[in-house]
Structure 1
Amino acid sequence: MRAGLTVGEFSRVTHLSAKTLRHYHDVGLLEPADVDPATGYRYYSLDQVPPAQVIRRLRGLDMPVADVKAVLAAEAVADRNKLISAHLDRLETKLVEARAAVDDLRDLLRRAPGGPVIEHRSVPAQPAIGIRAVIDRADVLSWWQGALGELNGVIGAQHLRRTGPSGGLFDSDLYEHERGEAVVFVPVEAGLRPVGRVTAFVVPPAELAIAVHPGPLNDIDLTYGDLGTYAARHEIGVEGPLREYYLRDPIETSAEAEWRTEVGWPIFRSDAT
């Protein structure tokens, strides 16, 4: 009497290759119904066809093996659906991110040659309030938004007078080593009462090559690329933190397309007076 379906037969029934079935056996996802102790041949039962079909579809959606096991082990339909829905939500998020990446690439390919207008500017020291931290590059955007909101909250609460656009200083280590110091600041007149992370800060003077980056910050690397290329080509780049001035930021509008950011690259100016 046969012990069940052979690997080849079960493979044809389920459209799972012998290699895949062997892997699922090794990781404990779909173990054979019987293994011949003498030959090591594996056999599967017809009752294993439905779970194999479920596994094939879930793995086809890139669900991790551990999560597939949890789905198969769940006794209540509601529990299974909850696990599957959570994975589908993650897939939707990845899809949105992939679409954004595709749009960014298309914009890059359509980008007009020549790049933005670049100007040289001497920036004097400027009293400000700021928040300083050592952060991971992956956290820059969320940290920046939180710091900007906190600074503006203090300005409103203490009735401080702004004297210029908000800005940021970003150490080169953030880009080279993916962790470094960042400062978000808002120029104000004196009078701050330090609170929480917010302290008095003096924005250092600098000689900068500056270009305006329009719109969202997810592709601001293009403007940095233009400035870095310009500085290297003219052999005027110097060490120092990269600088941004937020002419129109999330505090003013939630419409990212309306944001305007000046990006400053530190340079040596032989014509500075």
Structure 2
Amino acid sequence: MGRGLSIGEFARLTRLSVRTLRRYHEGGLLEPASVDPASGYRYYTGEQIPVAQVIHRLRELDVPLADVRRILGADDPGVRAELLAGHLRRVEAELERRRAAAVSLRRLLAPDTEQLDVRLRAVRPRTVAAITETVRLDDVLEWYADAMSELDAAVAGSEPLGPPGGRYDDALFTEGEGDVLVHRPVADPPTRGRVAPVVLPAVELAVTVHRGPHDDIEVTYGRLGAWVVDHALAVDGPVEETYLVGPRDDPDPAAWRTEIGRPVFRVSDA
């Protein structure tokens, strides 16, 4: 057996820098096939070329070192695939978060010039089929999807009395955790699993409609908040959303319509 490939030769074949290969060695990710005891020179084999390239791609995806070691050390291809799939899901979620942030920032830097259409509405008490839980902000989208699916199944066949909606405590956003209620107004709300009849109290709302996907819905929230302040009103209770048109109604996000309602009361006669 020959001495193998020097680190320089291996670097040229893998298109990785010598510095990177040394870092992989020091991090325990890619041990050279042999190290000359006299000179300390590292030598590699041709079989290690794809391993080095796999490590490089994993690090490009910001896979943590510990996870890279687990992926490389897993003998079962299924285990390796699941470890990688889990990280890719996290990467995709982060990319989606960044994309949504970019959409929101563009709208903030070039705000709508037309006046926001806001109306005050007095809402009577109503009984709805609902699921209520304390939810972490990081989990709210997944929780919402599961809760609405459970609601849909529970009220299947019931007469709908309006579009679905949700109520979100301010603590969800200010503290990172708060009570969330999602509901469907139907005749004779059932009790099934997490679903139960809930009486929503009477409330006066300042309402407006957000058009399109929720990537920049906080911009509409902010504009509604400014309107409330300008009209000498104060917020009083959890925000309400009514999903006039959503993914269940139309797959095109541009067609979605979400009504936002801020519970308010007047603090002056201005």
TM range (shorter): 0.7 to 0.9
Which TM-score applies when normalising by structure 1? 0.73
Deviation at 1:175, TM superposition (A): 0.9
Alignment CA distance shift 1:171-1:17 (3 Å):
same
| 2:256 aligned with 1:259 | yes
Cα distance in 1 for partners of 2:245, 2:19 equals 56
SS at match of 1:120: strand
Match of 2:57 in 1: 58
Match of 1:243 in 2: 240
Match of 1:216 in 2: 213
Map 1:120-131; keep pairs closer than 5 Å: 120-131=120-131
| 2:147 aligned with 1:147 | yes
Match of 1:173 in 2: 171
Match of 2:43 in 1: 44
Deviation at 1:152, TM superposition (A): 3.9
Cα distance in 1 for partners of 2:160, 2:101 equals 40
Question: Unmatched 5+ residue regions in structure 2?
Answer: none
Cα distance in 1 for partners of 2:230, 2:268 equals 17
Contact 1:214 1:261 in 2 (8 A): yes
* RMSD value, Cα: 4.2
Cα distance in 2 for partners of 1:87, 1:200 equals 37
Cα distance in 2 for partners of 1:172, 1:104 equals 20
Contact 1:214 1:260 in 2 (8 A): yes
SS at match of 1:44: strand
Contact 1:245 1:263 in 2 (8 A): yes
Superposed CA deviations along residues 209-228 of structure 1, whole A, max 9, x for unmatched, are: 21101122333222112112
Mean Cα displacement is larger for which, 234-243 or 57-66?
57-66
Number of equivalenced pairs: 266
SS at match of 1:156: coil
Cα distance in 2 for partners of 1:90, 1:244 equals 28
SS at match of 2:233: coil
Question: Unmatched 5+ residue regions in structure 1?
Answer: none
| 2:26 aligned with 1:26 | yes
Cα distance in 1 for partners of 2:70, 2:168 equals 44
Contact 1:207 1:269 in 2 (8 A): no
